[in-house]
Amino acid sequence: MIYFNGDSWSTSYHVNDEHDIWPINTSAYPRWTNLVAQELQKDFYNESLGCGSNSRILDCVENLYLQDKKPELIILALTSHVRIHLPSGYGGYWNLNPGGALDSITGKFDDTVYKWYYANGHEELDSVYRYYKIVWNLNRLCKQFECPYLIVQAWDDELVDQKIFNDIETYVTKHFPEYGINDVRAQAYIQAFNAIAQDMASWNYSEDTFSKLIGPERLDDTLHPDPDGHKLIADYMIDKIKELV
C-alpha cells in the first residue's frame, strides 16, 4: 500500500471535472485514476485534504504509526508554511489559512478563529522555523516505518526561494531589528536552524516544487494543476520513487 498525504494539489479540486490526478483518492472519485499508484501497480491510501496544513500531515502520519499501519511507500507533498490546524474533535481538523478556517468533518467555515490567529499568533520567522521542524519530525517518523518515503514541497516557492540555510544568521537577525544577533531569541532560532541544517543530509526531502516543474501554463484558473500538469507531476514523482526503491 502507498500512503499519500498533502493538500488540494494532492487530491481532487474540481468535483465536476473527470481527469487523472497524480495521487487522486479514488474511494471518493472512483472514475478517476491515481497515476502514481497505477504506474507502480499498488493499492493506496490518500489522506490529502484541501486547505490542509503541514501540522495536520504530521498528525496524520503519527496516527498511521500508532495504528500500526504498514505502508510499503510513503509520499508526502507539503503545503505552505503559513497554514496550521486545530483539532475539531472525532479525529477532525480545523484547517486555518489566511483566507479562513474550515472544519474537515462538517465543512463548517469559521471567520473568527483564523482572523484572531493571523492577527495575534502568526509571525513569519517562527512560521518558517515550525515548517522545517515539522519536516525534521516527519523524516524521523517516516524512518520508523522501515519503508521508502519521499517528502516534497509542492508549491510554496516563496519559502524555497528564500534559501535561508545559505545564511541562517542573516535570515534570522533581520527579524530582530532592535538587538539583531545579540537578541537571545535570535540565538535560539539560529541554534535550532543550524541543528536542522546538519540533519538535512539524512532526509528524503526535496524542494524542487511542483509549481516550478510544471510552470504557470499548466495551472488552471484556480492555480491548481491542470490534467497535463498532473501527468508531469506523476512522471516526476515516479522517477523520484524509482531512485528510492
pTM over 0.85, yes/no:
yes
The answer to whether residue 22 scores a pLDDT higher than 80 is yes
Q: Are 97 and 128 in the same domain?
A: no
**Position 22, amino acid:** W
The answer to whether residue 30 scores a pLDDT higher than 90 is no
89, with CB counted inside 10 A (0-12, 13-18, 19+), is: exposed
In the beta sheet, which residues pair with residue 84? 96
Instruction: Count how many domains the chain has.
Output: 2
Place of cell 540533519: 199
For range 99-110, the mean pLDDT = 91
Q: Are 114 and 127 in the same domain?
A: no
Residue 52: CATH number of its domain: 3.40.50.1110
The answer to whether residue 14 scores a pLDDT higher than 60 is no
Domain closes at, from 121, 147, 171: 121
**Position 206, amino acid:** S
Q: Could you tell me where the DSSP H helices lie in the chain?
A: 35-40, 54-66, 113-120, 124-142, 157-161, 168-173, 184-199, 210-214, 227-244
Report which of 106, 94, 8 is spatially closest to residue 51, judged by C-alpha positions. Answer: 8
Q: Are 215 and 155 in contact (CB under 8 A)?
A: no
What's the confidence (pLDDT) of residue 40?
Answer: 81
C-alpha 78/C-alpha 57 separation (Å) is: 8
Q: Determine the structural domain holding residue 223 and report its residue range.
A: 2-81+123-244
What's the confidence (pLDDT) of residue 26?
Answer: 54
Q: Per-residue pLDDT tens for 216-240?
A: 999 988 889 988 899 999 999 999 9
The answer to whether residue 143 scores a pLDDT higher than 70 is yes
Place of cell 543550524: 194
